[in-house]
Structure formats: C-alpha cells, structure tokens
C-alpha cells in the first residue's frame, strides 16, 4: 500500500496516527537541524518534517538529497504543527517522517509547478503533463468532470440513452473542412472524422431510439481561436415525436440543473428573441444580455443634416455607454483606434457626451444642434453622464462592428461579470444564406434543418426570407448550444437538396443512406448540440476553452507536446497508396 491517506485529508483529528503518504515534492526547506518538505498529490499538500532530535542521522542525510518533483513514499506520525497555516486544509498538522522511499527522482522542471508559475504558455503547452500538476489546470479538469457527470445524470433521469456513433465515417458537406483518413484496405478511398454525429443521430431516431445523447468528440479542420480547437466535444442530443417547444423545455431544464448544481445559481427566465431582433438590437445572433447598450437606429435623426459621412450611408446606429461621459479625449481616441483595427474594420466613430448639467458636446457639433443631439440621447436611452457612440455604413457590417465595440466596452467597464448568468434562446434563424463566392444559397445550419411550415412556399420565390425551425441557446454572449427540428420525409429532404444546388445524383451519392432510411417510417424529430468545452469554460468563469482540455492544440492546430501532426515514412505512405506533392 503506497498510501493510507491522501495529502489533502489529514487534520487535527489524525494527530497521533501512523500514516503513509505518497506524492511529489513541492518544496524543500533545509535549516540544517530541521528539514521541511511539502508533499503534493492531486488532493492537496501536507508538510513533512525531519528533525535531528527525533530523526536518525541516516534519515536526515537521505532527506537532504530530496528536490522538487521527486516522487516519494513516506511513513510517519501525524503531529501538531507549531506554526499553523490557516490557509491550508492540512495546516494544523505535519507528519514526522520515520522512513521514506524515493519512488522516482526528477530533473529540474522547466518551470515551477506552482499556482503562479514562471512558465509562459508555449513552454507549459510543451510540458503539458507538468502543467496539469498545477492547481489552476488540475482544478479545471476536475471541474470539467463534474459538469460532465451532471449532464449525464440529468439526461439519464429524463430517459435519454447514451449511444456511441462511429468516428470513421463518410465525408459530407457540413460547412467546415473535414479531417480525412486514408483507408489502407480500400485503395484510393478515405474516411472522414465527423464534424458532428448529425446523420447518425437522425438514423437512431429512425431506429426507434427516441431519446439519444452522447458526449462526443467532433473534428473540424478550420482556423482556430481561443474558444475553438480542431477536435472539440459536444453534448449531442436528439429526440423523436417532439416539436421545438419540447426541446427548448428539456434543455432549459438541463441548463438550470447545471447552473444550480455547479454554480448554486437559480435562473428562472430564459427570454426568447428572434434572429432579426438580435441582429437589430445587438448586431449579432449571440448577444450578451447581462448589460444594456442596445442599438438605436438614428437614420431619421442623423441624416440630411449636411454631414456627408452619415448622409451617404445605409445605416446610422448608436449606443449609450453608461457613466462614460467622463472619458477623456485620449480614451475616446483609443476607442476610435480600436474600431479601426483590421479585426473590426470600421472607418471611424462619432461621439457625443451627455454632460451631468444636461448639455451635450459632440465631435460633430458643427452639423448638429443641442436639440438634434438630445434626440440622439432620447433614442439611445442615454442619461446625463452617459457617452453616445455612433457608427455608420453598410447595415450588416456596421451592426457587426458596433457589436464588437459593445462587447469590448462591456469587458473594459466590468459589465460582463463571470458570476452572473443570463441565458437566452435565439429562434427563427434564416434557413438559407447567400454565398457571394459560389453565387448560391447555403444552409445556415445544415441541410437537414426543417423550414417553418408557414414559410415553405417562399422557397420557390423568396428563399432568403424562409425561416428555419432552428434555435440557439446563448449564455453570456456565447452560443453554447444549437439545433433544429429536422426534415423527416424523403420528399421534403429531396426538395431541400435541390434548393441547395445538389443534383439528384450528388444528393444520392452524399446522403443516399439517409434518404433510404426515410422510406421506412422516420418519425418527426429534432435535437440540439451543446458545445461542451465552451459550456464548461463559461461555467468556470472564463471564455477560453484551452485550460479546460487536458491536451489542447495551439493556434496552429499543433500538439507541441508530442509534435503532431508529423510526417509519415515512405513505407506507411506506400501502404496507404499515397504520394505527396508539396
């Protein structure tokens, strides 16, 4: 037995007991006549003591050779600690070591294994197995486990069955690039790794498995950012004999359950907002509703006043920033520079300060009177002490740019509080979106999404106006889940493929297996998929998913720890009938 207790559980109740502990050496403090060693495992830290009055000379000499990250097993007695540490669960006691074994030595680690480390992110990614020993990373992985268990508990209690689906599948167009896997046994043919289990979960509905879920890896070969990895995890769910309301109710319940069990937060309301309303009020389809700054369209108030910057644009839109009239000119100039960055791409920013005395001062006083500016204030909801910020340009681009500014200000002003949670359903998405490059419509979600029944006739005449029977669950400005009611009959699905530009032959080649299945009595069905990594990060008070993944990739999609992806040798390439053309 390597240990009778962990390094996090001993306290004053154990004084006088003989114990055995195992773990890593966190730190050694050698005073000559006395040596203290902090011993760490994933449960906590216990102080060990070697004392020349109570320890043998051989034991003291042996202890002098200990260093950081040595793996040791110790046996000793729990004694009361003279200098207690109230910040440590084991801070009332220490273990007087009677014997110990070095189970494994360690070279000096490349960075200190402590909460506040001297290791930069690149270095810690290379030695991720060491980084996991640090509390901030270790605790995030434990937190992820707790969230996964709560998801499984809730869905199981609701009658869902967890079913695994294949990783080696057929490449199908789902919006992002596939990762492909060559087949040695089938020369010149390739598997794809699934972007989602979409078609399989629909086939499970055909198979009568009316409540399915899976916590599953998915793969997309696309550009990366803080909340995106080439391999990511979804909570994938599907239900048969349901409509949209059934699904929204079940997964509101899941979200409430997670917030209550994980964060001890009760949430009653899940507001609903159409896609059009979200874009009009917030400039994106995943708005953070924890704070205001709703958009106000100012065309009627700002145009035709001789200010060409506004007069010539499709949209003039503004927001009121609370308590920001005190911003200095330098601070406002910094905001203007921020929106002009390539990542945002705006041409500029007009501002108006609503002073506490009721007067207004703006960057366009030459063109607008006090009454004009007061009308801006009324439309944006500004109050004395607020700052009005206005942008103009192409409607879609300007809304996107102002949305980025709104979120930036939310962060800068501390309005996006990690301990506040505001869920929101966004519904009635467009079924199709126009792609300028291909000059045709593409499915906004995927080709199996059902159109709203009342909009179906518009597919022939005004396809861009057709609404999807689709919904996204948004939490704190992040899409954490999205889904739809699916098409469940062959005729409608064939029509949808036609509208998306598939020939009958292409549709059969790509999705013939699904169309065939629909001939055998497919039930009405729909579902949702939660981005599990993102959900865990938000519940954990962060927006970057990387530290909540045990072995993440960097921004170039590389695992710098194992140096992947890597080249194959010629023998492997020959086996796979592949030739590189670089």
- Per the annotation, binding residues are 174, 220-222, 229, 445, 479, 486, 531-534
* Residues in contact with 139: Cβ distance below 8 Å, sequence separation at least 6, in sequence order: none
- In the numeric block, the tokens 């729909």 are attached to 526
Q: Where are the alpha helices (DSSP H) in 264-328?
A: 275-282, 299-302, 308-311
DSSP 67: -
User: Which of 111, 116, 115, 144 lies closest to 128 in space, CA to CA?
Assistant: 111
User: Which of 433, 177, 399 lies closest to 294 in space, CA to CA?
Assistant: 399
Annotated binding site for ATP: 220-222, 229, 479, 531-534
- In the numeric block, the tokens 């949670």 are attached to 421
Please count the helices (runs of H) and the strands (runs of E) in the chain. 17, 22
Residues in a beta bridge with 272: 425
CA 454/CA 449 separation, integer angstroms: 15
Burial label for 462, CB within 10 Å (0-12, 13-18, 19+), is exposed
CA 347/CA 339 separation, integer angstroms: 8
Annotated binding site for L-aspartate: 174, 220, 445, 486
Q: Report CA torsion sign: 71, 77, 80, 82.
A: negative
CB 35 within 8 A of CB 65: no
Question: What is the per-residue burial (b if ≥16 Cβ within 10 Å, else e) of 464-497?
Answer: eebbbbbbbbbbbbbbbbbbbbbbbeeeebbbbb
HSE-up (13 A, CA, CB side) for residue 309: 12
End-to-end CA distance of the chain: 56
Helices 244-263, 532-539: axis angle to 10 degrees equals 40
Q: 3-class SS at 390?
A: strand
Q: In Å, how far are 79, 87, 134, 386 from 41, measured between CA atoms?
A: 20, 17, 10, 52
HSE-up (13 A, CA, CB side) for residue 98: 9
DSSP 255: H
């Amino acid at each position: 037995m390597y240990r009778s207790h962990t390094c996090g559980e001993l306290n004053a109740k154990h004084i006088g007991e003989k114990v055995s502990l195992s773990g890593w050496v966190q730190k050694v403090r050698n005073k000559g006549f006395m040596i203290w060693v902090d011993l760490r495992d994933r449960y906590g830290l216990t102080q060990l003591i070697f004392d020349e009055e109570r320890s043998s000379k051989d034991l003291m000499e042996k202890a002098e050779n200990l260093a950081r990250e040595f793996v040791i097993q110790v046996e000793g007695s729990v004694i009361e600690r003279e200098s207690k540490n109230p910040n440590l669960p084991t801070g009332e006691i220490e273990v007087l070591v009677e014997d110990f074994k070095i189970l494994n030595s360690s070279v000096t680690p490349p960075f200190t294994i402590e909460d506040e480390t001297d290791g930069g992110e690149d270095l810690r990614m290379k030695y991720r197995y060491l980084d996991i020993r640090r509390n901030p990373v270790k605790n995030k992985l434990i937190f992820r486990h707790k969230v996964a268990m709560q998801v499984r508990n809730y869905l199981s209690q609701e009658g869902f069955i967890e079913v695994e689906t294949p990783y080696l599948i057929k490449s199908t167009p789902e919006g992002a690039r596939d990762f492909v896997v060559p087949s040695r046994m089938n020369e010149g043919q390739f598997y794809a790794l699934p972007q989602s289990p979409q078609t399989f979960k629909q086939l499970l509905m055909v198979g009568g498995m009316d409540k399915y879920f899976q916590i599953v890896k998915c793969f997309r070969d696309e550009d990366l950012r803080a909340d995106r990895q080439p391999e990511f995890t979804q909570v994938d769910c599907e239900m048969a004999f349901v409509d949209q309301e059934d699904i929204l109710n079940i997964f509101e319940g899941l979200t409430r359950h997670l917030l209550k069990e994980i964060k001890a937060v009760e949430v009653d309301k899940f507001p609903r907002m159409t896609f059009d309303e979200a874009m009009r009020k917030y400039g994106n389809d995943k708005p953070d509703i924890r704070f205001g700054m709703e958009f106000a369209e100012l065309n009627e108030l700002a145009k035709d006043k001789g200010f060409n910057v506004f007069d010539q644009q499709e949209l003039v839109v503004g927001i009121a920033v609370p308590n920001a009239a005190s911003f200095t000119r330098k601070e406002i100039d910094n905001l203007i520079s921020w929106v002009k960055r390539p990542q945002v791409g705006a041409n500029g920013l007009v501002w108006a300060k609503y002073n506490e005395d009721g007067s207004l001062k703006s960057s366009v006083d030459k063109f607008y009177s006090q009454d004009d500016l007061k009308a801006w204030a009324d439309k944006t909801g500004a109050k004395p002490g607020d700052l009005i910020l206005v942008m103009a340009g192409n409607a879609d681009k300007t809304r996107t740019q102002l949305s980025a500014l709104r979120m930036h200000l939310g962060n800068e002003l501390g309005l996006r509080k990690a301990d506040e949670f505001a869920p929101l359903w966004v519904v009635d998405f467009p079924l199709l979106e126009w792609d300028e490059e291909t000059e045709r419509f593409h499915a906004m979600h995927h080709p199996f999404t059902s159109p709203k029944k009342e909009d179906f006739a518009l597919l022939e005449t005004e396809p861009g106006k057709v609404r999807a029977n689709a919904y996204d669950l948004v939490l704190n400005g992040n899409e954490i889940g999205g889904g739809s009611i699916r098409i469940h009959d062959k005729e409608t699905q064939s029509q949808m493929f036609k509208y998306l530009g598939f020939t009958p032959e292409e549709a059969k080649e790509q999705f013939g297996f699904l169309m065939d299945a629909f001939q055998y009595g497919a039930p009405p069905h729909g579902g949702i998929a939660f981005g599990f990594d993102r959900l865990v990060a938000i519940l954990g008070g962060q927006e970057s998913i990387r530290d909540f993944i045990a072995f993440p990739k960097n921004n170039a999609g590389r695992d710098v720890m194992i140096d992947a992806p890597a080249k194959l040798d010629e023998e492997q390439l020959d086996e796979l009938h592949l030739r590189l053309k670089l």
